[in-house]
């Protein structure tokens, strides 16, 4: 019984930590940028943070101009709250 109570307490602590994550993690400014492909016609894979779905997504950048929030998926993942 003691082991089960301890497991329940641990699970509750994890859930509370995850729920409070959004308010306590600093969000890099690039996370708010909306991607724009630019005026050129190349096809470079770049990334942006989708605020509604709360995850990183890929878009195609033309190679000049536009808005490129992140060059790599790894850099974009800084927008996803992790404790």
Q: What separation in angstroms does the CA of 79 have from each of 28, 40, 57? A: 6, 27, 12
Domains and CATH numbers, the chain: 2-79 (4.10.410.10)
How far, in Å, CA of 28 to CA of 82, rounded? 13
Give the pLDDT score at 9. 60
pLDDT digits 0-9 by tens, 61-76: 999 999 999 999 999 9
The torsion angles phi and psi of 71, rounded to 5 degrees, stand at -85, -25
Mean pLDDT of 3-16: 55
In Å, how far from its chain's centre is CA 14? 20
pTM above 0.85, yes or no: no
Q: Is residue 32 very low, low, confident or very high in pLDDT (cuts 50, 70, 90)?
A: very high
Which value, in Å, is the radius of gyration of the alpha carbons in the chain? 18
Neighbours of 10 (CB within 10 A): 10
Residue 47 has pLDDT above 70, yes or no: yes
């Amino acid at each position: 019984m003691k082991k089960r109570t301890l497991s329940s307490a641990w699970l509750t602590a994890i859930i509370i930590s995850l729920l409070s994550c959004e308010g306590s993690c600093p969000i890099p400014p690039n996370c708010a940028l909306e991607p724009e492909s630019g005026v050129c016609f190349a096809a470079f894979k770049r990334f942006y943070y989708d605020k509604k779905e709360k995850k990183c997504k890929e878009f195609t950048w033309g190679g000049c101009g536009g808005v490129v929030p992140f060059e790599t998926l790894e850099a974009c993942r800084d927008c996803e709250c992790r404790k």
